[in-house]
Amino acid sequence: MSTGRRPLVAGNWKMHKTAAESRGFCTALAELVHATAPVDVAVCPPFTALQASARALAGTSIAVYAQNVHEAASGAHTGEISAGMLIEAGADGALVGHSERRAAGDTDAQVAARVRAGIDAGLLVVMCCGESLDTRRAGGAEEWVTRQVREGLSRVTAADVDRLVIAYEPIWAIGTGETATPDQAQEACAIVRAVAADAVDPARLRVLYGGSVNPGNAAELMACPDVDGALAGGASLDPESFAAIVAAAA
């Protein structure tokens, strides 16, 4: 049964690829991903490769998202980048609250402010959430993810639903090769959707799964009713492998 929600497959390059490398990747990807595929596709290059990626993908259906965005428009925030600057560089969206950012100190309050700032500037924001292995083993995964979603969406209104995506990414599955089972992914994404219902229409909200998604497991994960696509890291660094995940979503 169709959910009516268009799948999204995004590739988080983390701290990989120079601007020059991103050009080659984007040109190759654009040849592999068909513009008519019924799926939204985005790459998330490092800040320094945003502009080159956006230029290489101009005229294609593939979007470019940043990996983070600061909540302030400008000011004394050394090393940070605002939503307006990202848009100037060609970004269409931004990840917010990736677990690697949260591990570096990003708080729930900052995530909420960044979600708001990104949406206000016109970016599509992919807010990430997910529990650690210790939290899951202690039976606290639902409570953890519920808190992250509730607090991360604390400044979101119903009108924001089309500019918001949530990615459930259990930390124990990120970069480990250990993927959540489809049942685990479905259960967690359903919780995310239910919690988000306090802020936005849950039937319209896209919820992604991320954590060691690859061409071999993507189809069964994305076939889950509450999984509307994937946020892929390692497997998004190679155009063929990323295009295969896109094909699995289509």
Residue closer to ligand PEP (CB basis): 155 or 227: 227
**Angle CA 90–96–100, to nearest 5:** 115
Encoded one letter per residue, x for contact with ligand PEP by CB under 6 A and - for no contact, window 64-93 reads: ------------------------------
* Binding residue for ligand PEP, selected from 32, 77, 138, 175, defined by CB under 6 A: 175
* Binding residue for ligand PEP, selected from 66, 81, 213, 222, defined by CB under 6 A: 213
Question: Does residue 169 bind ligand PEP (CB under 6 A)?
Answer: yes
Task: In angstroms, give the least distance from the CB of 39 to ligand PEP.
Answer: 17
Question: Does residue 232 bind ligand PEP (CB under 6 A)?
Answer: yes
Residue closer to ligand PEP (CB basis): 141 or 155: 141
Interface contacts to ligand PEP, rule CB under 6 A: 12, 14, 169, 174-175, 210-213, 231-235
